Structure 1
């Protein structure tokens, strides 16, 4: 279940609508300002079974150029907010490489960009987006709010729409 930014969620919903697919997302992280206005920063994309954009015949992603950063960076994972980068042990390709390869990645993390160049670039972009959002949140004094309490907010925005109000 990938984690996506709000603008990625909207793009996925647009593509899904064009092909008649329904997607399910749940807010994962949100913040509230002193006026009771909430901003959702991350969504969890809830996928039942196969990704609806996975073409079973070709065994490829049908939206490869438009897929979210979480998918582009896989099998790399970013631990937030620390920014620690790791490789997923659930990835079939990594499993096939064996324990020696996994030890190499953990003992020599500087090899990750060489082994996974495109994925590393996507991870960098996701980290930059995340830190940019967090910097804005800190500057504007927003506080975390439980996503199950968003109905208590005076208004709810996606973080990019919330941030645009300050431009």
Structure 2
């Protein structure tokens, strides 16, 4: 289940509607402000089986240019909030090159941007977006909340919408 930012979720939903594809998302992280407004910062994209945008006949992504950062950075993974960069052991390319590659990269992490230039740039963007959101949350005194309680909120905003109305 990839993690996507709210603006990515909305873009995916728009593309899916045009292609008559049904998508599912679940809030993954949320905060509450002093007035009781709830703010969703991240969503889990619920994918059962193949990605709905994966064309199994051609074995290509149908939205390659518009795919979310989680997909653009794969096989790299960013652990949030630490920012630790990892490579997915589920990736076929990583499996083929195996533990020797991982060992080499662990001793020479500066090679990661050379081996995975586009993926590394996407991972950096994820980390920067996440840190920008966290900085905003800290400055505005938002408190973490249990996403299962969002239905109890008087109002729920996506973080980018909340940020736009707050500044």
TM-score by length of 1: 0.98
Cα deviation digits, residues 80-124 of structure 1 (max 9, x gap):
111111111111100000211111122221111010000000001
2:164 aligns with 164
Task: Look up the match of 1:79.
Answer: 79
Q: CA–CA distance in 1 between the matches of 2:31 and 2:139?
A: 13
Residue in structure 2 matched with residue 60 of structure 1 by the alignment: 60
Q: Which structure 2 residue ranges, 5 or more long, are not aligned?
A: none
Q: Which residue of 2 aligns with 1:143?
A: 143
SS in 2 for 1:136: helix
Question: The residue matched to 2:166 in structure 1 has which SS?
Answer: coil
Secondary structure of 1:165's counterpart equals helix
* 1:22 paired residue number: 22
SS in 1 for 2:48: coil
Look up the SS of the partner of 1:164 in the other structure.
helix
Look up the SS of the partner of 2:50 in the other structure: coil
Q: Aligned equivalents of 1:82 and 1:99: distance in 2?
A: 24
Q: CA RMSD in A?
A: 0.7
d(CA) in 1 for partners of 2:105 and 2:50?
28
The runs of 4+ residues in structure 1 deviating greater than 4 Å are: none
Partner Cα separation in structure 1 for residue 147 and residue 36 of structure 2: 14
Take 2:62 and 2:55, find their aligned partners in 1: how far apart are those partners? 6
Q: CA deviation at 1:68?
A: 0.1
Superposed displacement of residue 152, structure 1 = 2.0
Query: Separation in 2 of the partners of 1:30 and 1:15?
Result: 25
**Matching of residues 40-119 of structure 1 within 5 Å:** 40-119=40-119
| Deviation sequence 1:22-67 (CA, Å, 0-9, x none) | 1000000000001100100000000011001001111110100000
Query: What is the SS of the residue equivalent to 1:29?
Result: strand
Q: Work out the number of aligned pairs and report it.
A: 167
For 2:124, the equivalent position in structure 1 comes to: 124
